[in-house]
Chain A
Amino acid sequence: MMSRPIITRDTVIQRSRMMPSFPIVVQEILATLDDPDTNLNVLMRYISLDPVITARVLAVANNAAMHGRRDADVSSIFTAISLIGLGKVRSIALISSLGAFIQKAAALSLPTSFWEHSVAISISAQELNLHLGQPVSSDVALTSGMLHDMGQLWLFTLDADAERACWQKSIDSKEGIEDLEREAFGIDHATVGAWLAEFWKLSPIIVNAIQHHHNPDSALDNPLVPLIHVAEVLGNALDLGHRDQNRVTHISSAACQTLELVLDDTMLPLFGRIEARSRHANQFFSLPR
């Protein structure tokens, strides 16, 4: 291991203050999932404050209006929500705000594949959740998928060369990225990511899922843990996102059993949906902001 100061929870939190502010709209959306009225008001207020999210919601709504041959030019968030639905607006708000956060935090030095991988796993998590009868909320699955590798981003901002070397070695050898990070940094990205999520006041089930996404077996009582683990394995198996790093070394049988996931030909439509939606999302959200 390189000689560097020990990375503690305090180190992670202090250094995270050098990252962009975590988007408040994410916490607000997740905090009000069970209250549709509050959700609508909160959503409208926060979306109106964010020009990037507003533009994307209006773009989708205008596209729908154009194909529906409506005359109106959709220019208000309220009209857009009534046209495309609250669920879709929530998804756009979550992916846009988290994506902008990741892109700002990564500055110019992180490959775009990191962002593409995050989007792919968030879609994979949402579709797997749907395939399994929604054991968790769709928005929670999406958010956890987007944030599961935030610890890598933090390690990258600490020492880009060292983290890049871990990625490369994980491709060239049989060692897992977490083991390589522990050798290089004394800590792995799952732990760092969980500390960050906790600091950002995300729910304990999301913190838990980020912490255990590579090794879910000790936390299977939280259904989000096996869901994010399997979603990432599926994303890698389908070669989505960071293509040069995609490989499958392990899938937890216990996680599959907990989810009651049957790996038979019923998976094929699921694979198709994950792949098509990931392509669609990456086309839409990688447009210049």
Chain B
Amino acid sequence: MRTRHQYIPVTDIEPGMVLGETVQVAERGLLSIVLPAGHPLTPDNVNQLHTHHAEFICIDQPDERSDEQITLDTEQAAQRVQQIFKDCNLDDPTLLELFDQVMAYRTA
């Protein structure tokens, strides 16, 4: 199944979600919890993340959208990025680099 790499607030996490990146939570300069990428969250992990004050995690979310819906969503996201950058001069290399990264992030 296709997946989407997404960052979500800890308030939205649920058991069964699969980590897209390693979670490392540090408190007072000490590493208090480490969960590896690919690890499916257990109910205990969800509690641990709340207890250790994680604010967000990266997950690989199952992507159940149809190909048509993905194309539509990607087009809409790209249009919004173009609208946000419409008044800037993309001949400026720094602006172009930023535009490219934001576009890559939004259309991934």
Which B residues are CB-close (under 8 A) to A269? Answer: 7, 21, 58
Contact A265 B101 (CB under 8 A): yes
B102 CB within 8 Å of chain A? yes
Separation in Å of the B37 CB from the closest CB of chain A? 12
Asked if B97 and A280 sit within 8 Å, CB to CB, the answer is: no
Alpha-carbon gap, A64 to B84, bound state (A): 38
A233-289, CB < 8 A from B: 233, 236-239, 246-253, 256, 263-265, 267-269, 271-273, 275-277, 279-280, 283-284
Interface string of A50-88 (1 = CB under 8 A from B): 000000000010011011110000000000000011111
Residue of B nearest to A255 (CB): B94
The answer to whether B7 and A272 touch across the interface, beta carbons within 8 angstroms, is yes
B interface footprint on A202-217 (CB within 8 Å = 1, 0 otherwise): 0000000000000000
By the criterion CB–CB under 8 Å, are A251 and B95 in contact?
yes
Any B CB within 8 A of the CB of A174: yes
Please tell me if the beta carbons of A253 and B55 are within 8 angstroms of each other in the complex.
no
Q: How far is the CB of B59 from chain A (nearest CB, A)?
A: 10
The reply to whether B56 and A85 form a contact with Cβ atoms under 8 Å apart is no
Is B87 in contact with A256, judged by CB distance below 8 angstroms? no
Q: Which residue of A lies closest to B52 (CB)?
A: A64
Asked if B9 and A280 sit within 8 Å, CB to CB, the answer is yes
**A69 and B101 form a contact (CB under 8 A):** no
Are A247 and B85 in contact (CB-based, < 8 A)? yes
Interface residues on B, range: 35 or more
Nearest-Cβ distance from residue A260 to partner chain B, whole angstroms: 13
The reply to whether B53 and A265 contact each other, CB–CB distance below 8 Å, is no
Task: Provide the bound-state CA to CA distance between A252 and B92, in Å.
Answer: 10
- Given known A249-B87, A256-B94, A280-B9, contact A85–B53 (CB-CB < 8 A): yes
Which residues in chain B, 61-84, are within 8 Å of chain A measured between CB atoms?
A: 80, 83-84
- Complex interface: chain A residues within 8 A of B51 (CB): 64, 67-68
Whole-angstrom distance from the CB of B21 to the nearest CB of chain A? 7
Residues of B within 8 A of A273 (CB): 7, 56
Tell me which residues from 12 to 62 in chain B have a Cβ below 8 Å from any Cβ of chain A. 21, 27-28, 46-48, 50-51, 53, 55-56, 58
Q: Which residue of B lies closest to A70 (CB)?
A: B51
Q: Are A250 and B95 in contact (CB under 8 A)?
A: yes
Q: Is B1 an interface residue (CB 8 A)?
A: no
- Tell which of A88, A249, A280 touches B56, judged by Cβ atoms closer than 8 Å: A280
What residues on B are CB-neighbors of A69 within 8 Å? 47
A39 to chain B, nearest CB (A): 13
Which B residues have a C-beta under 8 Å from some C-beta of A?
A: 6-11, 21, 27-28, 46-48, 50-51, 53, 55-56, 58, 80, 83-88, 92-95, 97-102, 104-105, 108
Beyond the given pairs A237-B102, A280-B10, 7 more chain A to chain B contacts, judged by CB atoms under 8 angstroms and listed by A's residue number, are A64-B53, A238-B105, A247-B83, A247-B88, A251-B95, A253-B93, A271-B101
